[in-house]
Chains A and B, each alone.
Chain A
Amino acid sequence: MADRTRRRERPMKRAFFKPSASDSMRTHSSSGPEKPSNPSATRSNFDAEEGNEEFTPIFGTCLLMCPVKERERRERLRDLAIFERLNGDPAQSSPSLAVKKFCRTISRKDLDPSDVRPAPVLEDTLNHILKLLHSSDHSFETIHAFIFDRTRSIRQDLSMQNAVNDQVIDMYQRMVKFHIISSHYLHECSETSYAVSMIRLNQEQLIKSLITLFNLYDIVRATSSIRKDEPEFFSFFLLLQLGSDPHNTQEPLSLWLRRIPYQILKSREMQFARKLLRDYRTGNYKQFIRSAEEEASFLQYCIIEPYIDEVRVLALSCICYGGYKLQPYPLLHLSKLLIMKEDDVESLCNDCDIELTSGENGKGVLSSHKVVKKCPESSQKYYSMHSERIERLCSLALQLL
C-alpha cells in the first residue's frame, strides 16, 4: 500500500490534529455560559463504550490492518474469517486480508502500541471491510458478523488513543450508518437464528457508537461550528427513543433534549424527528405513517421501521375497539391509511388475531371491542411500506456507506 509508506514519514503525533489545533492533544473546552454544562464530554472518557476508561492515551504504531503477531497466531490456530483467507486456505492469510479482531478483555499492562493502529490505518481498514457489503458471494449474516466484530475493534483502537478530529468523526459516522442499515437487513432475514440474536446486539452497538459520536461532536464544537451532518445523527438518536418506556430510561428524554444545542433542535432533521415523536406519543397513527413515508431519509426509515408496524397495530386496536360493530372497516381503505399492500394488511390482521369479514365491497375488519396485540412469533418480521418513494430509497441503500 503506497499510502502507508508515505504516512510513515510523518511524525505520529501530527496525524491526529486538525491544522488549526494547538500542538497538544485536544482537550474539551466549554461552550458559553448560557448552555448547560456537559462535563461528560471530556477527553479522558469520550468513549462510552468499551470500558477503556482510565487509560492514558497511547499512540498506536501498527501500520497494518492486523498486527503481525496476531495474524501469525490466528493462522496457526486456523482462526481466520472467510474474508481473511488467502485463496480460501483456512490457515493462510496476508497483510492485505487480515483484520484485527475485537478483544474483549484488555488490561492496561498488556497494552502495546505496536498492536494499536493509528487513525489513518483505521480509516483504510474501515474502507476495506465496508467494501464487503457490496459483495454478493456471501450471505448478509456472514458479512455482517465480520464487519460487526472488526468495526468494534476499530472503535476500541480509536478510544485507546483518544483521537478526536474530522477523520475520526467521519469514521464513527460511517460505523453508525453501518449499524442502522444492518438493522434493516437483519430484520429482512429474521428467520435465521443469527439474525434474531444479532438484532439486539447490533442495536446496542449502534447506540454506543452514537453516544461516542455525540461526545466527539461536543469536544470539537468548542472550536468549530456545527457540522452539516450533525442534525441527522441527532435525529437518529431521537427516533431511537420512539419505543422506549419514559418511566424506565437511564436518562429521561426531557433531560437529553435540554442539552442539545438549539441550532440542532431547530434543524430540519430534528424537526422531522420531533414531529414523528409527537405523533407517536399522541397516537396519531395516520400522520405518523404518512410523515414517515413522505419525509424520512433511508437511514431514518430504517430506524423508524419497527415502530411503523407498532403504530399499525395501534391503528387496528383503535378500529377494533371503537369502530361501529355493524360496519366492518374496509381493508382497502385501511391499506391506504397504513400504506401497506392489501394482502399485508390481511396478514397483519391474522398475526393479531383480528377477525375479517367479506362483504360486497371487499374484506373488512370486524370491530369486536377486544384488546389487540401482535402475535410474538411474527414480531420480528416487518411489513414493508407500499410506497414507491420508500422502495426507491431502499434500493439505493448501499451507496450510503
Chain B
Amino acid sequence: MAAYLSMGEAHWRITEYLNRFADAVSYQDGKSLGRLLTISSDSPVLLSLADALNTFQDSNRVIRQSDKYSQYEDILVPIFRALQSYCLKNLAESYIAFEKASNAFIQEFRNWDSAWALEALYVLTYEIRILAERADVELASMGKSPEKLKGAGSFLMKVFGVLAVKGPKRVGALYVTCQLFKTYFKLGTVHLCRSVIRSIETAKIFDFEEFPERDKVTYMYYTGRLEVYNENLQAADQKLSYALAHCHANKEENIRMILKFLIPVKLSIGIFPKAILLEKFHLDEYSDIVLALKRGDLHLLRQALQEHDDRFLRSGVYLVLEKLELQVYRRLVKKIYIIQKQKDPNKAHQIKLDVIVKALKWLQFNMDVDEVECIMSILIYRNLMKGYFAHKNKVVVLSKQDPFPKLSTRPVS
C-alpha cells in the first residue's frame, strides 16, 4: 500500500483517469484508451489509481458527477472494481468485474464507426484471457472449480462475432482468433478451434492478406501446430514455414517456438536443420535425433526420444518423431548400399539380411533376421525403398534405378 493519500489527491486521480477515458473516446485515440484498460500490467498509472480508489471509496459518485464520463458508467464502474480486486489479489472477483466491463465496452464498440477502437479492443481481449487464467489458478488453489477461462473463451467468441462483419473492423478478427487459440490450447479444448478456423478461411468477408502481418504469423503458428497434432504434415510444413518466413528476425523467442514444431516436420521429409541453428535457438533436444537420422542409428534415436521423453510429449511432437524410425532404418540400408557400391558396384544392390543384422548390432541394436526382413518389407511396401526381398536367400535386392526415392510429406498408404 502506498503512503498516506489525501482524499483530495485521491479524488483528483480518479477524475484524471475519467477525463482521460472520455477524451480518448472523443478523440478516437484507441491506443490511449487501451492503456487505461491494462489491469494486469501493473502500470504506474493504474497502480496509483488503485490506491486512490481504495482511499476514496465512493468512486461511483464521482463517475456520475459529470455527463462527460457518466455515459460510460457501465464500463467504468466495473473497471474500477476489477482494478481494485486485482490489486487486493481477489483475482476471481477481478475477472468477473472485468468481464462485465468488457461486455459493456462491446456494446459501445458496436456503435462506433471506423476501426479506431481496435487497439483498445485488443488490449481488452488480451486482458480478459490473462485475468481468467490467473483467476482459475486462484480458484483451483482454493479447491473450487476453475471455469473462468472457459467463460473468457465464450466472451472472445462473442467479440469475434462482433468483428466478423463487413467494414474496417474485420481486420481485428485475426487477433481475436489468436487469443481464442491460446485460450483453447490452455484449456485443452483444441477441437473448438475448428469452427473459428473455418470462419477465417472460408467466410467471404475475410481476405487473409488484409490482416496485420503479426497476426498472420501467430495464426499460422497455431494452425500449423494443430496440423502437427493431427499429423497432416504437408499442411503443417506450409503453415509453419509461412510463419517462419514472415516472422520478424529479431523475435528470437517466437522463431524458436516455430522451429520447435517445424523441425520435426522437416525431419519427416529428410530435411535436416544445421547444427548452428539448433545451437542459436537452444533446440539441442533435436541434435541427437538429427545425428541418429544421419547415421542410421536406431539405438541413438530411441535413446534421444527417451532422454527428452517428457519434453517431446508436452509439446506434442513425440509421435511425429517416433515415426522417424523407418527413415533411420532406410538410412542404414542406404549407407550399406553405398559402402558395397564402393567395393563392388555390380553386386551393391544385393544386401544380405545378415549384414544388416551385423550393422545394427554394431550400433548396439539387437534385431533378428526375421525382424530385419519385416522392416525391409515395410520399407518397400511404403515406397521408402524400391526393390524386393527373397526370404529363402535372406537377401534384399534393391532396384538398380533410384532405389531410395525422395521423401515427401504426402501420407503413405
Chain A residues close to B by CB (< 8 Å): 27-30, 33, 36-40, 42-44, 222, 246-247, 250-255, 257-259, 262, 265, 278, 281-287, 315, 317-319, 321-325, 327, 329-330, 333, 337, 367
Residues in B with CB closer than 8 Å to A329 are 391
The reply to whether B190 and A257 form a contact with Cβ atoms under 8 Å apart is: no
From B232, B380, B382, B392, contact of A327 by CB (8 A): B392
Residues in A with CB closer than 8 Å to B186 are 36-37
Closest 7 CB pairs between A and B?
A: A30-B140, A322-B380, A318-B377, A324-B390, A254-B316, A252-B229, A286-B374
Residues in B with CB closer than 8 Å to A327 are 390-393
**Minimum distance in angstroms from A33 CB to a CB of chain B:** 7
Within B160-183, the residues touching A (CB, 8 Å) are none
Chain A CB within 8 A of B251 CB: no
Residues in A with CB closer than 8 Å to B313 are 257-258, 265
Whether A318 touches B145, Cβ cut-off 8 Å, given contacts A257-B313, A278-B325, is no
The reply to whether A29 and B319 form a contact with Cβ atoms under 8 Å apart is: no
The reply to whether B310 and A262 form a contact with Cβ atoms under 8 Å apart is: yes
**Which of B10-18, B81-89, B146-154, B351-359 interfaces with chain A?**
B146-154
Q: What is the chain B residue whose CB lies nearest that of A281?
A: B323
Chain B residues close to A by CB (< 8 Å): 136-137, 140-147, 149-150, 186-191, 228-232, 309-310, 313-314, 316-320, 322-323, 325-326, 370-371, 374-378, 380-382, 387-393, 397
From B146, B322, B388, contact of A281 by CB (8 A): B322
Residues in B with CB closer than 8 Å to A324 are 388-393, 397
**A262–B141 Cα gap in the complex (Å)?**
21
The reply to whether B145 and A39 form a contact with Cβ atoms under 8 Å apart is: yes
Residues in B with CB closer than 8 Å to A37 are 136, 140, 146, 149, 186-188
From A36, A39, A254, contact of B146 by CB (8 A): A39
The reply to whether B377 and A319 form a contact with Cβ atoms under 8 Å apart is: yes
**A251–B376 Cα gap in the complex (Å)?**
33
**A321–B380 Cα gap in the complex (Å)?**
8
The reply to whether A323 and B389 form a contact with Cβ atoms under 8 Å apart is: yes
Residue of B147, B149, B230, B370 with most chain A CB atoms under a 10 A cut-off: B230
Residue of A37, A257, A317 with most chain B CB atoms under a 10 A cut-off: A37
The reply to whether B230 and A246 form a contact with Cβ atoms under 8 Å apart is: yes
**A228–B140 Cα gap in the complex (Å)?**
25
The reply to whether B388 and A285 form a contact with Cβ atoms under 8 Å apart is: no
**A223–B302 Cα gap in the complex (Å)?**
35
**A394–B317 Cα gap in the complex (Å)?**
37
The reply to whether B371 and A287 form a contact with Cβ atoms under 8 Å apart is: yes
The reply to whether B149 and A323 form a contact with Cβ atoms under 8 Å apart is: no
A-B Cβ contacts below 8 A, count? 151
Residues in B with CB closer than 8 Å to A258 are 188, 313-314, 316
The reply to whether A39 and B381 form a contact with Cβ atoms under 8 Å apart is: no
Residues in B with CB closer than 8 Å to A38 are 188
Whether A285 touches B374, Cβ cut-off 8 Å, given contacts A27-B143, A246-B230, A321-B381, is yes
From A30, A251, A255, A278, contact of B322 by CB (8 A): A278
Dominant SS among interface residues on chain B:
helix
List 12 interface pairs A-B (beta carbons < 8 Å), by A numbering: A29-B143, A36-B314, A37-B186, A37-B187, A246-B231, A250-B191, A254-B318, A254-B319, A258-B313, A259-B188, A327-B390, A329-B391
The reply to whether B325 and A282 form a contact with Cβ atoms under 8 Å apart is: yes
Known interface pairs A39-B147, A324-B388; 7 further A-B residue pairs with C-beta atoms within 8 A, sorted by A's residue number: A29-B144, A30-B136, A37-B149, A39-B136, A44-B145, A284-B375, A322-B380
Q: What is the chain B residue whose CB lies nearest that of A274?
A: B322
Residues in A with CB closer than 8 Å to B387 are 322
From A286, A287, A322, A333, contact of B388 by CB (8 A): A322
The reply to whether A254 and B229 form a contact with Cβ atoms under 8 Å apart is: yes
The reply to whether A323 and B146 form a contact with Cβ atoms under 8 Å apart is: no
Q: What is the chain B residue whose CB lies nearest that of A329?
A: B391
Residues in B with CB closer than 8 Å to A281 are 319, 322-323
The reply to whether B391 and A255 form a contact with Cβ atoms under 8 Å apart is: no
**Minimum distance in angstroms from B155 CB to a CB of chain A:** 16
**A324–B396 Cα gap in the complex (Å)?**
9
**A315–B231 Cα gap in the complex (Å)?**
24
The reply to whether A315 and B391 form a contact with Cβ atoms under 8 Å apart is: no
From A254, A284, A321, contact of B374 by CB (8 A): A284
**A42–B382 Cα gap in the complex (Å)?**
45
**Minimum distance in angstroms from B171 CB to a CB of chain A:** 30
The reply to whether A323 and B137 form a contact with Cβ atoms under 8 Å apart is: no
The reply to whether B378 and A255 form a contact with Cβ atoms under 8 Å apart is: no
The reply to whether A317 and B371 form a contact with Cβ atoms under 8 Å apart is: no
The reply to whether A251 and B144 form a contact with Cβ atoms under 8 Å apart is: no
**Minimum distance in angstroms from A161 CB to a CB of chain B:** 17
Residues in A with CB closer than 8 Å to B318 are 254, 257
**Minimum distance in angstroms from B224 CB to a CB of chain A:** 14
Q: What is the chain A residue whose CB lies nearest that of B390?
A: A324
From B145, B188, B310, B371, contact of A28 by CB (8 A): B145
Residue of A39, A43, A257, A286 with most chain B CB atoms under a 10 A cut-off: A39
The reply to whether B188 and A42 form a contact with Cβ atoms under 8 Å apart is: no
Residues in B with CB closer than 8 Å to A29 are 140-144
The reply to whether B377 and A322 form a contact with Cβ atoms under 8 Å apart is: yes
**Minimum distance in angstroms from A217 CB to a CB of chain B:** 16
Residues in B with CB closer than 8 Å to A286 are 370-371, 374
**Minimum distance in angstroms from A234 CB to a CB of chain B:** 13
**A211–B411 Cα gap in the complex (Å)?**
30
**A281–B319 Cα gap in the complex (Å)?**
9
**A329–B373 Cα gap in the complex (Å)?**
12
Residues in B with CB closer than 8 Å to A283 are 326, 378, 381-382
Residues in A with CB closer than 8 Å to B392 are 324, 327
Residues in B with CB closer than 8 Å to A319 are 377
Residues in B with CB closer than 8 Å to A259 are 188
**Minimum distance in angstroms from B229 CB to a CB of chain A:** 4
**A196–B143 Cα gap in the complex (Å)?**
46
The reply to whether B375 and A247 form a contact with Cβ atoms under 8 Å apart is: no
**A257–B320 Cα gap in the complex (Å)?**
13
Residues in A with CB closer than 8 Å to B390 are 323-324, 327
The reply to whether B229 and A36 form a contact with Cβ atoms under 8 Å apart is: no
The reply to whether A318 and B391 form a contact with Cβ atoms under 8 Å apart is: no
**Minimum distance in angstroms from A226 CB to a CB of chain B:** 16
The reply to whether B319 and A318 form a contact with Cβ atoms under 8 Å apart is: no
Whether A30 touches B380, Cβ cut-off 8 Å, given contacts A246-B230, A282-B323, A286-B374, is no
**A281–B71 Cα gap in the complex (Å)?**
63
**Minimum distance in angstroms from B174 CB to a CB of chain A:** 23
**A265–B312 Cα gap in the complex (Å)?**
13
Residues in B with CB closer than 8 Å to A42 are 145-147
The reply to whether B147 and A322 form a contact with Cβ atoms under 8 Å apart is: no
